[in-house]
Every structure is written in C-alpha cells, then in structure tokens.
Amino acid sequence: MSDWKMLTLVGEDQPGIVGQVTNALYQGGWNLGEASMIRLGGNFTIMLMVSGSGAVEPVLQPVATKLGLHMHVDDIAGSLHQHVVPNIQVRVAGADRAGIVAQVTAVLAEKGFNILELESDVAGSSNRPVYIMHIQGYSELPLELIEEALDNLGDIDVNVSPIETLIG
Amino acid sequence: MAVLEILKIPDERLKQVSDPVEQFDDALRTFVADLEETRRDGPAAVGIAAPQVGHFQRIVIVDVSNTRKPVPNHGHMILVNPEITHWEGFEMGREGCLSVPDYTGNVIRATHIKIRAQDPWGKLLEYEMEGYEARAVQHELDHIDGMLFIDRVVSRRTDLFQRKVYQKGGKSKK
C-alpha cells in the first residue's frame, strides 16, 4: 500500500503560494515527491505528491484559506521512480476552434499512444487566437503510422517527431 | 579490461574540472579501453566522459552509430583534449545521464559544431558534426568542465528565453 497522496491546490495567482504551502507541509512533517505547478489563465495550479502520516488537510487548511486556494486530496496507488520515457512528440498549431484537442487525442488514443505530458496555450490575439499544443508520449507503433493517422485533420498543422533520449 | 564504477549525483567530484592529457601512453590507452567497457556495460549510453568514473582527465568517448533511427555520425570516437572550435544553431532535445539515474530533461544544444581533439596516440583529429552526434559531444564535453545536463535543463515554455542565456554561457566557457 502506497503512503503517497496527490494534493491539488488551485487559486488566483499571487507571489508566495509555493513558499507558504511547502513550508506548511515541511513544518507538518510531510515529504514532497513529484510535482507539477504552473500558472494557467491567472490561476496558480499545484499537483503535488506528498507522503506523511495522518491527514494532510488540517496541516494545509489554514494556509489554503489564507491564500484563497481550493484544496483536494486523494490517496494514490503510485510511487516514485515510475518514469516512462517519451519516444514521440506531437506538435499541434492552428487557428483556434472547438475540437482541436479532441480530434488529435482521439486519433492518438485509437493508436494506443500514451500521453505522458501535454501542454497547450492560446497564442495570437483575442481577435485571432491560435491554439498551440505540445504532447510527449510513448507509443509502441512506428512514428509513420501515428503521422499517417494524424494526416487528415484539415486546418490543423500537426508535426510528429521522434524523441531520441540521449544517455551520456 | 574492467568495468569502472560510475559516479552519481550528488557526488561533488562530478563538478571537478578535468586536466588535459599530456602523456599519450599505454596507461592512457588501457584506461580508454576500460572507459569503453564501462559505457557498454549499463543502459545504452551513446557517450561517456572520464570524470564520470572518477578519472579527471579530458577524455570522452562518443558513438551514436546505433540509434533506433540512423543519424549522421562519425562512428566510434575517442576524443582526448577535445575542444569546440565553432558552433551554430540551437535545438532542444531530451537527455539523460549515467551519473543521473531515473531522470531525463530537455536541454538546448548547438545543432552544428566543429571540434578539434587528439586520438589516444596524440594525433590531431578534426570533425564537423550535427544534430544528435553534436548533442552527444556537447553533453560529454560538459562533464570534463564539471557540468551536468541538469545544470542546463529548460522547460519548453521558457525555450526562447533560455536560448539567449545559453548562448552567453556557451561562449564564456571557452
């Protein structure tokens, strides 16, 4: 049984969120694992693996309330050192419209492509928004098959390239 | 021949700057053979640098002739006292390291480089290389200057900003 919990915190961005949250965890005797923290649309979002004993909510509630953060905690089955190294990268760009992500990822899912990381952003301007997405993932299939499957998406520009991780 | 022990972070010795090789003798060539055996022993490493086994001399081995998809390469290279004499272009790629187990990250490297080095007998070597092979050489050359790829990892979002920082760092090194 894993002793890790996944902690999710979201709230309006302001300086000091990471400092205060992690300090409360540290003072409360909690260890941190892998984390992803990023500003999205003026909000600061935290997904963080923590391990410790007892409940983590009482340790964080004061600081979450003070900073206006929504908090959510799940017991998870995961653990550290479970990395999967991506071997294919998919870059997508196009005039923003509904359905870009759905269409691209439906094709990837059908091919058994496992998305390990997805980052997307809306660039351009309010009048002419451009959707840009980077996906890194793992596929057993040859790159050409993924490329071919993504070839008929019309106005969306999709680029599939190998990720050859250099070990040196 | 022997498989040598690989130093792993946070071993402070990985930050040590290595000394130039002055004696091109049998001891050097024996060490190079051990270094190569060590490279081949673990996970498929395309390169290895002498300081990774606690030997602080400017010696690296690079061989990218065995990638999943073939890339332009010069085969198996033993580079003694290597130096980058010219570089251009920048590209992001994913790297890992024998000295940094269970971690990979994105690093920006020059896409085209020219290097000068010596072989294990002291003969002058010059290569012009690109892409993955150029990346591997830059990764290994960092080791002999006490740098690891984790000192250069960038997030994709900060790509353009980091690119400028890297140019400055890369130039001041020589």
The answer on whether B139 is annotated among ligand-binding residues is yes
Catalytic residues of B: 140
A83 is a domain residue = no
Decide if B103 and A83 are in contact by the 8 Å CB cutoff: yes
pLDDT higher than threshold 70 for residue A30: yes
Residues A9 and A66 in one domain: yes
- Within 8 A of B67 by CB-CB distance, chain A residues are 164
A151 is a domain residue = yes
Residues A46 and A108 in one domain: no
A81 is a domain residue = no
Which structural domain, as residue segments, surrounds residue A145? 88-162
Which of A75, A98, A131 is the C-terminal boundary of a domain? A75
Sorting pLDDT into bands at 50, 70 and 90, what band is B145?
A: very high
A95 is a domain residue = yes
Q: How far is CA A100 from CA A50, A156, B73, in A?
A: 34, 7, 38
- Within 8 A of A138 by CB-CB distance, chain B residues are none
Counting beta carbons within 10 angstroms of the beta carbon of residue B134, is it exposed (0 to 12), middle (13 to 18) or buried (19 or more)?
buried
A167 is a domain residue = no
What pLDDT is recorded for position B68?
81
A99 is a domain residue = yes
What pLDDT is recorded for position A17?
98
What pLDDT is recorded for position A42?
96
- Within 8 A of B147 by CB-CB distance, chain A residues are none
CA separation for the pair B107, B132 (Å, rounded): 12
- For chain B, the domains span 12-172
What pLDDT is recorded for position B163?
41
Query: Nearest CA to CA, how far is B59 from chain A (Å)?
Result: 13
- Chain B contact probe: residue of A122, A160, A166 with most B CBs at under 10 A: A166
Residues A104 and A131 in one domain: yes
For residue A88, give the nearest of A149, A154, A37 by alpha carbon.
Answer: A149
Q: What amino acid occupies position B39?
A: R
Chain B residues whose C-beta sits inside 8 Å of any chain A C-beta: 43-49, 62, 67-69, 71, 93-98, 102-104, 132, 135-136, 139-140, 156-157
* Residues B38-65 pLDDT 10s: 999 987 899 999 999 999 999 999 999 9
The fraction of chain B above a pLDDT of 70, given in percent, is 89
Sorting pLDDT into bands at 50, 70 and 90, what band is A155?
A: confident
Residue window 75-104, chain A: list those with CB within 8 Å of chain B: 81, 83, 85-86
Query: Nearest CA to CA, how far is A55 from chain B (Å)?
Result: 30
Query: Nearest CA to CA, how far is B43 from chain A (Å)?
Result: 8
Which of A43, A75, A107 is the C-terminal boundary of a domain? A75
Give B25-36 as a DSSP string.
Answer: SHHHHHHHHHHH
A132 is a domain residue = yes
- Say whether residue A140 is in contact with chain B using an 8 A CB cutoff: no
The answer on whether B143 is annotated among ligand-binding residues is yes
- Chain A contact probe: residue of B64, B94, B108, B159 with most A CBs at under 10 A: B94
The mean pLDDT value for B141-157 works out to: 91
Q: At a CB cut-off of 8 Å and minimum separation 6, what does A77 contact?
A: A2
Residues A39 and A62 in one domain: yes
Residues A41 and A106 in one domain: no
Residue B149: closest CA among chain A residues belongs to which residue?
Answer: A168
What pLDDT is recorded for position B167?
41
pLDDT higher than threshold 70 for residue B159: no
Residues A100 and A157 in one domain: yes
Q: How far is CA A58 from CA A25, A44, A70, A75, B85, in A?
A: 10, 21, 14, 15, 59
What pLDDT is recorded for position B139?
98
* Residues B92-103 pLDDT 10s: 899 999 999 999
What the block records as the tokens of B111 is: 């896409």
What pLDDT is recorded for position B157?
65
Q: Output the domain CATH number for residue A47.
A: 3.30.70.260
Residue A83: closest CA among chain B residues belongs to which residue?
Answer: B102
ipTM for the predicted complex comes to 0.82
* Residues B9-34 pLDDT 10s: 999 999 999 999 999 999 999 999 99
- Within 8 A of B98 by CB-CB distance, chain A residues are 167-168
What pLDDT is recorded for position A2?
66
Out of B69, B71, B139, the one facing A168 most closely (by C-beta) is B139
What pLDDT is recorded for position B155?
79
Residues A95 and A158 in one domain: yes
Residues A68 and A19 in one domain: yes
What pLDDT is recorded for position B156?
66
- Within 8 A of B139 by CB-CB distance, chain A residues are 166, 168
What pLDDT is recorded for position B158?
55
pLDDT higher than threshold 50 for residue A8: yes
Domain count, chain A: 2
Topology of domain B12-172 in CATH is: Peptide Deformylase (3.90.45)
Out of B44, B71, B157, the one facing A167 most closely (by C-beta) is B44
* Residues A73-96 pLDDT 10s: 999 998 899 999 999 999 999 889
